[in-house]
Chains A and B, each alone.
Chain A
Amino acid sequence: MPQTASLAAHEISCQRGGRLLFADLSFALGPGEGLLVTGPNGAGKTSLLRIIAGLLPLHAGRIEGGDESVPLPELYHYVGHLNGIKSALTLRENADFWVDFLEGDSSGVEEAFKRFGLIELEDLPAGLLSAGQKRKLALTRLFAAKRPIWLLDEPSVSLDTASVKVLDEAIAQHLAQGGVAVVASHTPLKVKFAHELKLKLEPLP
């Protein structure tokens, strides 16, 4: 698994519900570069991330990830609005599932649990967690398996300031190791992003 990667988009556009969200969008990220996506609600930040993750079809243009013409699932993590946590499983069982399913190793999870302060809670059912703790558990997925491309959709929502700092450090460390991150966020993060993309709300026709 290569730990450095590149990600590029060439004139991609996105259409949702018959409405053009953005068109002719291009960016190129080399190893260690981050992209911050900003813009008003409904401008297409989530759609952009889901397109890169391959969950939404590409309307036009193309995306290149790594050396391949399509970003392979093995290359990226996608953490979206929904946490993807199973309430009936404990924190540890949730994390262990990701490790096994994503073919990672559990040492990263251990580290992330300590950093986010979840280690004392690991035997509790995840349904008992607060919104911020659930978010932190969802973010530990980033460490369950090493992936060079991180796609984060509002990662800091409902996190406290200390946890935002941990997240900041984690993204910075990921970039320093040659990873790539695309982050959509309203709250300012301290990480230096090499590129910034401002999406505008296109007027309705």
Chain B
Amino acid sequence: MKGAWALLRRDIVLSWREGGTIGTALGFYLVVVAITPLGLGPDLNLLSRIAPGVLWVALLLASLLSADRIFHNDYEDGALDVLATGPLPLELVAALKSLAHWVTTGIPLALLAPVLGLLLNLPIDAYPLLVLAMLAGMPAVSFVAAIGASLTLGLRRSGVLLALLVLPLYVPVLIFGVATVSAASVGLASPWPPFLILCALSLASIVLAPIAAAAALRTALR
């Protein structure tokens, strides 16, 4: 337990100190959402209709920016050998590192989303559910990203390949995430059924993704 907490704390401290991770993701998210209205023109009705989709797509892309770092630095400097030969199972190590990615990327991005919702004229009523849905859906994003990060370990310019591998797996998260926010902003249907499916997707990823990631890590260490 002490070891697990130490690893989680170390990863959060490192992503803060090494810099670039949180700042780049937030900046990217801001820029992508900010230029969308410039491309579409000042039609407020259109913007508020597409806002949930734009916010979610940009969120997925922004979170992928730092995804290749989940294991890469530890692999480069040999710390992964230590983690792999420690008392914690490699599955738990992968899960903790994915959790650290959620804390350092998923939570800040989800908290920034309402500010960006303003730029897209998203109805104010939808903000609480927007943040809630993103907080609930981002574990799925971080844990699935860890599979891609472990599969592309040791490759040059792995970021693009990682995006190609992982983005198709995000389709369910995208569909139910957008459905939740749309339902909340239009108000015709209840947002809770898609929200609960989103939670289920996250829970399933938390259980299953570390097993796949650990298997890929074992191959990468050979």
- The count of A-to-B residue pairs whose CB atoms sit within 8 angstroms is 74
Residue of B nearest to A99 (CB): B6
B222 touches A55 (CB 8 A): yes
With beta carbons under 8 angstroms apart, the residue of B5, B6, B10, B86 that contacts A73 is B86
Given contacts A101-B7, A102-B3, A103-B2, contact A85 B18 (CB under 8 A): no
Taken together as a complex, chains A and B put the C-alpha atoms of A82 and B14 apart, in Å, by 19
Residues of chain A within 8 A of B85, CB atoms compared: 53-55, 73, 76, 78
B143-184 to A contact mask, C-beta < 8 Å, 1/0: 000000000000000000000000000000000000000000
Taken together as a complex, chains A and B put the C-alpha atoms of A36 and B206 apart, in Å, by 44
Q: A86 on the interface (CB 8 Å rule)?
A: yes
B53-91 to A contact mask, C-beta < 8 Å, 1/0: 000000000000000000000000111111111111000
B77 touches A84 (CB 8 A): yes
Given contacts A55-B221, A100-B5, A100-B6, contact A89 B13 (CB under 8 A): yes
A86 touches B79 (CB 8 A): yes
A72-86 to B contact mask, C-beta < 8 Å, 1/0: 011010101111111
A83 touches B87 (CB 8 A): no
B10 touches A86 (CB 8 A): yes
Kindly provide the distance from the CB of B88 to the nearest chain A CB, expressed in whole angstroms: 8
Residues of chain B within 8 A of A55, CB atoms compared: 81, 84-85, 221-222
B86 touches A89 (CB 8 A): no
Taken together as a complex, chains A and B put the C-alpha atoms of A56 and B13 apart, in Å, by 31
Taken together as a complex, chains A and B put the C-alpha atoms of A111 and B126 apart, in Å, by 58
Taken together as a complex, chains A and B put the C-alpha atoms of A141 and B78 apart, in Å, by 13
A102 touches B78 (CB 8 A): no
B18 touches A103 (CB 8 A): no
Residues of chain B whose beta carbon lies under 8 Å from any beta carbon of chain A: 2-3, 5-7, 10, 13-14, 17-18, 77-88, 221-222
Query: Closest 5 A-B residue pairs measured CB to CB?
Result: A82-B78, A100-B6, A84-B78, A88-B17, A84-B79
Residue contacts A-B, CB under 8 angstroms, 18 given: A55-B81, A55-B85, A57-B222, A73-B85, A74-B87, A76-B85, A78-B85, A81-B78, A83-B77, A86-B77, A86-B79, A89-B14, A96-B6, A100-B6, A101-B82, A101-B83, A101-B88, A103-B87
